[in-house]
Amino acid sequence: MKKTVLLFSCLLALAACKQNSSDAQDNKEAQLEEAAGAMDEEALDAQTPQTPDGAAPSTSQSEAMSEEPLPGATSTASTPPSSANPLFNLTLRPGQVGAVRVGMPIDEARKQYGNTKFRETTLLQEGTETKAFEVLGERRRTDMVVEQECTGTNCRVFRIKVINPAFKTPGGVGIGSTLADVKKSFPITSISAGEGKLYAISQEAKMSFALNATSIPAGKWGSLKVKDVPDNTPVSEILVY
């Protein structure tokens, strides 16, 4: 009986040792798996780019970065306006203002600017109404007024009145220039009053320069000579004919 009990005790001890060994092995394997998982997570974090606050960049930010132009890439900005476009033609010289020339058929002048920029108007000159045309520029403001002379149905440009100060001669003369500036570019042959304005006239250039002569009494305009008008008198309007 004692031998049986002793044998049974030995078997129980052996079974307990085997169980402990199995538990230890399981614990060891679990620890290895946990360590391997941690290493995988660290490797994944190292591959993911981080923002300064530790968060991964959003898709929209990545896309925005990819859309940045490369150095040396061609710009998509619009090119500057060309003087070949009549709306940007600021030519001012004897016989021509912008794309309009004295003697040009009215229909040709209209084609240069189009119907929306070449608008019919009526002028009142010395009590008489006459048909004319306005050339419209930026914000539909009048750049110039084109007067016509007709023979039957054949109408041509007779005279051009410059209103926009942007038009300049090659010498820089335009609205806002002084009489002295005009004299440097064009010979002024006489001073004349007409339509309530005082003009400095260049017969050679066929141009008249309306002067803002408020310092001179209107009653004296009819007898003025070129030397009587101060050189600092500004130009307020230009006629080309």
| Annotated domain spans of the chain | 1-44, 86-162, 179-240
In this structure, what DSSP letter does residue 55 have?
P
227: left (phi over 0), alpha (psi -120 to 50) or beta: alpha
153: left (phi over 0), alpha (psi -120 to 50) or beta: alpha
Q: What predicted TM-score, i.e. pTM, was given to this entire model?
A: 0.65
SS3 content of the chain, % helix, strand, coil (to 5): 35, 30, 35
The 3-state DSSP class for residue 85 equals coil
pLDDT tens per residue across all 241 residues of the chain: 444 444 445 444 544 444 444 444 445 444 544 544 444 444 434 444 444 444 444 444 433 333 333 333 333 333 344 456 777 899 999 999 999 999 999 999 999 999 999 999 999 887 889 999 999 998 889 999 999 999 999 999 999 999 999 999 999 999 999 999 999 999 999 999 988 899 999 999 999 999 999 999 999 999 999 999 999 999 999 999 9
In this structure, what DSSP letter does residue 137 have?
-
